[in-house]
Structure 1
Amino acid sequence: MGNRKRLNANQDIFLLILGIAWANLIFFHQENWKMDPWKVGIIGLGIYFCIKWLGARREVLKDSRMRAGSIFFGLLFAAMVVVGEKIHAGDWEFQMFSAGDIVWLIVYFGTGMLLFLTLSTFFFDGRMRNLMERTGKDEKGGTCRKGNWLLYSIVFMLFWTPVLFIYYPGIVPEDATVSIAMVLGDLPWDNHFPVFYSLLAGGSVWLGRALGNPNLGVLLYSLLQLVSMAFLLGYFLEWMQRRIHRFCTYFALAFFCTIPVFGNYAIVMWKDPWYSGLLLLLGMFLYDKAVLDREAFLKRKNLVLYGVLGVLISLMRNNGIYIMILISVVLVYMYRKRVKRVALTCAVTILCICTITGPVYKGVFSAENEFVESIGIPLQQMVRVVIKDGNMTKEDKEFLNHLMPMEKYQEYYNPFLVDPVKWAPEFHTDYLNAHKAAFFQTWFSLLKSNFGIYVEQYLMGTYGFWHIGGDTPYEFVKTQIAANDWWLYQIAPFESYFNYAMQEKMSGKYDFMASGLLVWIALYDVLLCWVKRKSRYILPLLIMVGNWLTLMIATPTAFGLRYIFIMMLGVPLLVFYPLLLPPSEEEATSRKKHISM
């Protein structure tokens, strides 16, 4: 017995040393991390406890999917960290790889595997599920408790209204001024700024001006968005409370109330809050009607509701249609044995979206989608070839010179943002629109001889949407009313009446959350669904993943939390999603044993 205790003690000391050494390696490799003894020690202890936790659950590795999932996650995690360290937001160069990177790939491969296995066993541990799951819950979620919904909504309004008072009558970024100008007739219509949303934003200002005060229109918009988002998130919390422990709901309540960015996004004149809110509604709807109760989705009212939500999402933001196409494909596959109703609904939904944004917008508003808006990544890749003096044929140079004089590319190029190039005075948008086929031919021609440059630009151009902590607060929050010709301005009550610089004080209180971190939480949830053989539970997550994929294909910028705001709204769902997955028979049996004990 004594020898066994000494053996266990020696093993613990070895694992503790391993954990601390592991933590030191991670902190040493991260250039922006200081080797604070407290932080290194805490991470080292965390690694030690993770290893101990898994050591007592070795049987988990007998599952082939768990092994495959952890290896896949570990490989992606290692690639993300090591490749991400080659890019710096303030530096336009992509650092070269070295032989030493193999060591770091091994370190982070192990770290990724350890994270995945620890979290996966933690969420499905019998004691954990007993603690966090809602007792006596209805398998189908039960019916909405309107009292709780109203209570949560009122709480949100109470916490967000002071933000409206600080920025009274609201916040109007530069993008919104274009929407307003189109409605007021100062600019031609352009569906790059979605017509449907522009009618809401610009229509509010038009109504305020008709009533004698355009600022009244800004206030009307602020109140409309604040109240609607409060009710939407109030419903989200009530929906959560019917499915998992109330403390998870309280976490969500605190998250939405105590982080100032949600009060800002409740009033800012951006399409992203409403768009993301509609995506969240669709996710909850699909979880209830297609995942928990597969028959429910086939009911006529639910098919109609799905179509309506799909159309609204796609009218609010142009990349919505691609998300709906992805979801439609998955739904048709899920219901392949009874495909007619589902396929017809999906087809009609996509057709309605295309009809409204195509012939209707063109006929009524003379508005079309700008081609340049959908080619941000390939355009940036071609520009980087010019900047890096890559291999180009005579025809390639002629086409690029027609788009913009070759000597001007260096002046406007930014690897993390395409806007300076595409909005440059010398950039010939008309020529691009008239030679779309030539654009793709040139892009493919340059790809064959500049593959490395293309990869560098792609990784830099999407950096913030795949690297944890790698992005910057670009397009994070806006706090002002942009310069305009309609006498829209902030009254700033604290500054005007109390001589207190509240807006300046508030500007330092917005806490930034990295977009890439949210993406990785979603990736973990998707992979966990597959590992646990609950693949149909991936469907609601595909809404967030689909939005992310549209950014990875055609994002205009490498950063921008607002473009991925659906994941910010969905943080409580992403964090607790493993609790929504039903346990396997073995896990359920283990849980019963814990209950009986």
Structure 2
Amino acid sequence: MCNIKYNKGEQYLRILKRVIEAWCMMMVIIMDKGIITAEELSTRKNAYLIYRTTLAKLSASVTLDGIVPIVLFIIFFVFYWQVAKIPFRRTVWVHILAAVFSVFVVVGYSFAATQSLELIFADYAQMTKAVVSLIGYYGLFLPCIKLCYLAMSRKNVFARAEKAPSGWIAMLMDRRPFLSAFVILLLAWLPYLIAYYPGIFMGDTGAQISQFFQLPNGTSNYLNLISDSQLINNHHPVLHTVLMGTAVKIGKIIGSDNLGIFLYACLQYFCMAAALAYGISYLKKLRMPRWFQGGILAMTALYPVFPRYAVLLSKDTLFSSCVLVFEIFLIKLVREEEAPGKKNAVLFLLTMLGVMMLRQNGLYVVLFSLPVLFLGKDKKRRRKTAMLFAGAIVLYISYTNILFPALDITPGSRREMLSVPFQQTSRYVRDYGDEVTEEEKEAINKVLDYDKIGEAYDPNISDPVKKTFHEDADSEDLKAYFKVWFQMFLKHPGCYIEATLNNYYGYFYMGNDSTDRRTRYYESFSTKCMEERINEKGFDFHHLDMFKGIRKFLEMVSEIVLHSPMLTIVQASAFYTWLVLLGTGYLLMLRRYREIVVLLPAFSILLVSIVSPVNGTIYFRYMLALMFVMPVLISAVIKGGGKPEENAPVLQQQ
């Protein structure tokens, strides 16, 4: 690796750039990013500078005492200087990503601290600090992304050794990758299956069981049902409701509600283990090194999030498992591996149906993947693939548009697609309610309960506001509402921007570790869901007291792991957003445009998440599918179309 030679003018410019980057990053670390008030200025050093001016506030924000700032500056300068010597490919994508990630961090920090953009735009001092932070983070992310891409392109880093592995586990993983991974996962997760018998309940579990047994529930109480005798509706995936309800019905025949729902938990447990084992075994097909394959297996077996979701009675687990298998099929199509036989064709078809039927956004995952039909030279293969996609989509449309009406199954509420405008209106009413006219109130009140939305507004979740939605609102009412919505936007566009960013910054910012997100599916939450949402309707679901000690131990271990540096980000929604963007930038840099198709399902999940009801800081399950597919996805990006030389241009000047 040779160094790049510069003339004297360019050398001075390089030094100046490194100095600015190092100084800004040093300032990011030592600078108080909070808003400095006039009262605080009087008690801080250098407050004698021009009182209440930007200079005084900036001076009060920074501690210049000690040698720490100097050491930090030297460390960053040396790091930036050395990385700049690498003859990296000139590409705009690395700079765009560094800038985007910098914005994510600065904006996300502001919302995590103040639930607004106040830390950025409160005054000139805050704007100056924001600019310094943006430059500092940009200077840090730029070399880090370059080093990441350099590692991804090195053949020796991600090469699979041809030599047979030593050790019986490694040999077994090499010879029987699927079976060995499947058995290891089943055994590793077994303590959770036993301790949390009959399964971990969450908010939707009781509602789905109630629907199946035609009992009043949260959704049937507000929807305009097609028939009062059919309480099953498509707010929750009907297929999943039927699967779960059938298991409970079998349990009632046997004489145990617990045993019934446990049958479903076991089905989900085995399906998730099989899907993840398939993904881990496919890493061998992609020629990923054994250390990587083994590391992913160890993480999947031991990281608490995986076994907890394996026994969580939620649609997200089966959906994410189907997305993983679907993604592998998609990668095979892009890489033009061997044409699928009848068995694989049937599995591919069933997987697509599972993706679409197990979650409302599953249809978008499949639709976003349609560009794969235009790839490849084998017309017969493309025609066969098109028939599979068409068959799956036609079956799904028939399922929702023919079967559902025939069974009087009511569609989900329109409100589920309106989280963004509803949150914007509610924040506007909260912050600028005195500016709302009577005419505007009337238009809003026909769609939402105007008197409640301002107080009900929660910046991180739209459910409290959506609950005030009037299901009988017609198209004219919605038209009048959106007219008012747009008028309000013109008056205070910043309010709308803040409402949206506040609701979704957790999908882009990794710095906010939510305790609620970590502990949501512990015993206390599960028991509460059992007792308050389903047991009062004549059921008897409960965790066994004899395993209470094991549950406490598992939750203690989970807390330790999820609080550990580096390990905690694995459960951060934004972590997967960043990985998807890094993978996309890598493919764009190398001009491997056709392979971006494998990332399109991930983008569909991201897009749906940022119009979902809840912030990524609170719920992780909306991103669970990305957690499942990420090892395979990143491996496919690294390995490309099976040609090692594709990554070579990373170090070439152009």
What's the offset of the Cα at 1:233? 1.1
What's the offset of the Cα at 1:553? 3.0
| Aligned with 1:543 (options 584, 601, 605) | 601
Between the aligned partners of 1:43 and 1:161, the Cα distance in structure 2 is 50
Between the aligned partners of 1:317 and 1:395, the Cα distance in structure 2 is 39
Residue type of the alignment partner of 1:566 = A
Kindly tell me: are residues 519 and 361 of structure 1, through their superposed partners in 2, closer, same or farther at Cα, counting changes over 3 Å?
same
| Aligned with 1:309 (options 314, 328, 351) | 351
**1:508 matched to 2:551:** no
Between the aligned partners of 1:274 and 1:46, the Cα distance in structure 2 is 45
Kindly tell me: are residues 27 and 326 of structure 1, through their superposed partners in 2, closer, same or farther at Cα, counting changes over 3 Å?
same
Q: Which residue of 2 aligns with 1:326?
A: 368
Kindly tell me: are residues 323 and 370 of structure 1, through their superposed partners in 2, closer, same or farther at Cα, counting changes over 3 Å?
same
Kindly tell me: are residues 45 and 228 of structure 1, through their superposed partners in 2, closer, same or farther at Cα, counting changes over 3 Å?
farther
Q: Which residue of 2 aligns with 1:179?
A: 208
Q: Which residue of 2 aligns with 1:580?
A: 639
**1:220 matched to 2:263:** yes
Kindly tell me: are residues 203 and 29 of structure 1, through their superposed partners in 2, closer, same or farther at Cα, counting changes over 3 Å?
farther
**1:397 matched to 2:404:** no
SS at match of 1:400: helix
String of CA shifts for 1:391-433, please: whole Å, max 9, x gaps: 6555432121233443322221111111111225xx4333368
Q: Which residue of 2 aligns with 1:164?
A: 193
What's the offset of the Cα at 1:325? 1.6
Residue type of the alignment partner of 2:601 = I
Between the aligned partners of 2:474 and 2:31, the Cα distance in structure 1 is 44
Q: Which residue of 1 aligns with 2:590?
A: 532
SS at match of 1:130: coil
Q: Which residue of 1 aligns with 2:51?
A: none
SS at match of 1:296: coil
**1:52 matched to 2:82:** yes
Q: Which residue of 2 aligns with 1:130?
A: 156
Q: Is there any run of 5+ residues in structure 2 with no aligned partner, and where?
A: 1-13, 35-61, 164-172, 217-230, 563-567
**1:489 matched to 2:533:** no
| Aligned with 2:311 (options 251, 262, 267) | 267
Retained in 2: the 8 A contact 1:463–1:470? no
Kindly tell me: are residues 399 and 15 of structure 1, through their superposed partners in 2, closer, same or farther at Cα, counting changes over 3 Å?
closer
SS at match of 1:88: helix
Q: After TM superposition, list the pairs within 5 Å mapping 1:172-321 onto structure 2.
A: 172-187=201-216, 188-242=231-285, 243-288=287-332, 290-293=333-336, 296=339, 305-321=347-363
SS at match of 1:553: coil
Retained in 2: the 8 A contact 1:74–1:109? yes
| Aligned with 1:147 (options 176, 201, 214) | 176
Kindly tell me: are residues 163 and 38 of structure 1, through their superposed partners in 2, closer, same or farther at Cα, counting changes over 3 Å?
farther
Retained in 1: the 8 A contact 2:93–2:585? yes
What's the offset of the Cα at 1:88? 2.0
Residue type of the alignment partner of 2:648 = E
What's the offset of the Cα at 1:215? 0.3
Between the aligned partners of 1:353 and 1:470, the Cα distance in structure 2 is 38
Q: Is there any run of 5+ residues in structure 1 with no aligned partner, and where?
A: 1-11, 138-143, 592-597
| Aligned with 1:570 (options 629, 633, 646) | 629
Q: Which residue of 1 aligns with 2:8?
A: none
Between the aligned partners of 1:158 and 1:115, the Cα distance in structure 2 is 38
What's the offset of the Cα at 1:155? 0.6
What's the offset of the Cα at 1:220? 1.3
Between the aligned partners of 1:368 and 1:168, the Cα distance in structure 2 is 33
Retained in 1: the 8 A contact 2:197–2:544? yes
Between the aligned partners of 1:217 and 1:41, the Cα distance in structure 2 is 63
Retained in 1: the 8 A contact 2:150–2:650? no
- Mean Cα deviation higher: 317-326 or 442-451: 442-451
What's the offset of the Cα at 1:50? 6.0
What's the offset of the Cα at 1:583? 4.1
What's the offset of the Cα at 1:380? 0.7
| Aligned with 1:447 (options 471, 489, 492) | 489
**1:69 matched to 2:99:** no
Retained in 2: the 8 A contact 1:15–1:48? no
String of CA shifts for 1:172-216, please: whole Å, max 9, x gaps: 112111111111221311211111111112221121111110100
- Mean Cα deviation higher: 391-400 or 252-261: 391-400
Kindly tell me: are residues 75 and 14 of structure 1, through their superposed partners in 2, closer, same or farther at Cα, counting changes over 3 Å?
closer
Retained in 1: the 8 A contact 2:198–2:265? yes
Between the aligned partners of 2:137 and 2:92, the Cα distance in structure 1 is 17
Residue type of the alignment partner of 1:28 = I
What's the offset of the Cα at 1:272? 0.9
Q: Number of residues paired by the alignment?
A: 561
Kindly tell me: are residues 240 and 43 of structure 1, through their superposed partners in 2, closer, same or farther at Cα, counting changes over 3 Å?
farther
Retained in 2: the 8 A contact 1:192–1:370? yes
What's the offset of the Cα at 1:370? 1.1
What's the offset of the Cα at 1:74? 1.9
| Aligned with 1:431 (options 452, 473, 479) | 473
Q: Which residue of 1 aligns with 2:57?
A: none
Between the aligned partners of 2:442 and 2:92, the Cα distance in structure 1 is 49
Residue type of the alignment partner of 1:569 = F
What's the offset of the Cα at 1:448? 3.3
**TM norm structure 2:** 0.76
Kindly tell me: are residues 257 and 241 of structure 1, through their superposed partners in 2, closer, same or farther at Cα, counting changes over 3 Å?
same
- Mean Cα deviation higher: 562-571 or 440-449: 440-449
Retained in 2: the 8 A contact 1:315–1:357? no
Between the aligned partners of 1:206 and 1:368, the Cα distance in structure 2 is 24
- Mean Cα deviation higher: 36-45 or 389-398: 36-45
- Mean Cα deviation higher: 500-509 or 380-389: 500-509
CA RMSD between the two structures: 3.8
Retained in 2: the 8 A contact 1:303–1:345? yes
What's the offset of the Cα at 1:318? 0.3
Q: Which residue of 2 aligns with 1:385?
A: 428
What's the offset of the Cα at 1:343? 5.0
Between the aligned partners of 1:573 and 1:50, the Cα distance in structure 2 is 32
Kindly tell me: are residues 587 and 447 of structure 1, through their superposed partners in 2, closer, same or farther at Cα, counting changes over 3 Å?
same
Between the aligned partners of 1:585 and 1:274, the Cα distance in structure 2 is 35
String of CA shifts for 1:463-518, please: whole Å, max 9, x gaps: 111222236254554122422221101004233xx699546635634614211122
**TM norm structure 1:** 0.83
Kindly tell me: are residues 566 and 586 of structure 1, through their superposed partners in 2, closer, same or farther at Cα, counting changes over 3 Å?
closer
Kindly tell me: are residues 228 and 542 of structure 1, through their superposed partners in 2, closer, same or farther at Cα, counting changes over 3 Å?
same
Retained in 2: the 8 A contact 1:314–1:321? yes
Retained in 2: the 8 A contact 1:78–1:109? yes
| Aligned with 1:115 (options 144, 157, 181) | 144
